[in-house]
Amino acid sequence: MQKILVARPIFPDVIERLKQYFDVDWNQGDVLPADELTRRIADKDGALTAGDPIGAAVLAAAPRLRVVSNMAVGYNNFDMAAFNASNVLGTNTPDVLNESTADFGWALMMAAARRIAESEHWLRAGQWQKWTYDGFLGSDLHGSTLGVIGMGRIGQALARRAKGFNMQVIYHNRSRVAPEIEADLNAQYVSKQDLLRRADHVVLVLPYTKENHHTIGAAELAMMKPTATLTNIARGGIVDDAALVEALRSKTIAAAGLDVFEGEPDLNPDLLSVPNIVLTPHIASATEATRRAMANLAADNLIAALGEGPRAGQPPNPINPEVIGKARS
């Protein structure tokens, strides 16, 4: 029986599915340190991860490893050059989290715009003594301009929700989407600079790559309106968190919402010292239905990639399909 490592705690019923096909080594505790991950993956044919870094050293230590299934859409935790050089398949879990993540992005954007977290902290601290006309004035979403950077599936789901708020939608993407999609979303393609200058609410939904590192830094924040908000539901590193702290302190922009951070779960401690920001611990896809769908899709990818189940040899979501069928090198 082939051996697999499940590197993170996941739903026990998904583990039972995997046990029908594999000898399963399941980590039910904390995130595995790098040396422990390397040790436990060494004799495995496959692995299921959730953001665990998998690079050349890990792959070299696991000569039998043929596939690593990531329970996430993003896979910047994978060194894909090393995967390709070793003929190891990587897979991910797109689509099943689009709508839940878009819902959460909208919630985070609204919370930042309407100062919900800031006012709740103030109330809990016992400071609410009376109603005032200027208490916690925020900014409207209805009738405003939404700027989406990264118009993939989640970006499009966000833009669809803007219709109900009568918002103008502008977007920037690596490439322009099809005209019929623009028409359906009533969205206008603009340069990044134009988007930052015009948008009342900027939402980031682009993948993390070396090229996208610090897509939003001090210069970009300075382009934004002083009344604007910034929401990041993409990946840490796309925003220069230190520059964002300074922009919030100086009121260069009005507010921000972050679900992802540079170096998470560690984060810049200065983020905790600014009141005009909403912080959540990478939970944009965290509904039970969505996380179950992600776990089962990750399992489907692993089962099929290792030649088992009804889709044997045809995993649903290969990242580097060109290595399928090639011998491990």
175 and 309 in a single domain? The answer is: no
Question: How confident is residue 269, by pLDDT bands cut at 50, 70 and 90?
Answer: very high
Total number of domains in the chain: 2
| CA pair distance 128, 132, nearest whole angstrom | 10
pLDDT of 327 above 90: no
Residue 329 has a pLDDT of 78
Which domain range does residue 158 map to?
Answer: 98-279
Same domain, 163 and 256: yes
- Regarding whether 211 and 71 lie in a shared domain, the answer is no
Mean pLDDT of the chain: 97
Q: What is the mean pLDDT of residues 235-259?
A: 98
> Would you state the pLDDT for residue 53?
95
Same domain, 224 and 147: yes
- For the segment 186-236, what is each residue's pLDDT rounded down to a tens digit? 999 999 999 999 999 999 999 999 999 999 999 999 999 999 999 999 999
Largest CA distance in the chain: 71
> Is residue 27 very low, low, confident or very high in pLDDT (cuts 50, 70, 90)?
very high
Residues 90 and 147 in one domain: no
Query: DSSP H helical segments within 207-324, as ranges?
Result: 218-223, 241-249, 288-305
Residues annotated catalytic, as ranges = 235, 264, 282
Percentage of residues of the chain with pLDDT beyond 90: 98
Residues 149 and 269 in one domain: yes
